[in-house]
């Protein structure tokens, strides 16, 4: 029973943390879009760094979950976001 509760808690942590991280990354991307033209080198470099950060976060999550579980969880979150809109 403790293991089941631990898995549920880990799922909640994953969902909450990943959503917060995504919101932060989206916010930073919006700031870049507002303040810099699309061809601006600083905007392009910042966007590349945001993409790399997102990839690194996914890689870290794979150490806790299998890659398949990570993909499923991300799809669930993205689906929930679309449903909320």
The total number of structural domains in the chain stands at: 1
pLDDT value at residue 8:
58
| C-alpha distances out from residue 51 to 1, 26, 46, 82, Å | 38, 11, 9, 21
Instruction: Convert 25-51 to b/e letters by CB count within 10 Å (16 or more is b).
Output: eeeeeeebeeeeeeeeeebeebbeebe
pLDDT in tens, the chain (85 residues): 444 555 557 677 777 777 888 888 888 888 888 888 888 998 889 889 988 888 888 777 777 777 777 778 778 878 877 787 6
Using a cut of 0.85, tell me whether the model's pTM lies above it.
no
For 14, the domain range is 2-84
């Amino acid at each position: 029973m403790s293991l089941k509760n631990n898995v549920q808690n880990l799922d909640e942590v994953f969902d909450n943390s990943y959503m917060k991280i995504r919101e932060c990354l989206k916010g930073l991307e919006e700031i870049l879009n507002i303040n810099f033209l699309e061809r601006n080198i600083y905007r392009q470099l910042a966007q590349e760094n945001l993409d790399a950060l997102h990839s690194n976060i996914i890689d870290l999550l794979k150490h806790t979950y299998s890659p398949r579980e990570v993909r499923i969880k991300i799809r669930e979150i993205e689906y929930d976001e679309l449903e909320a809109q």
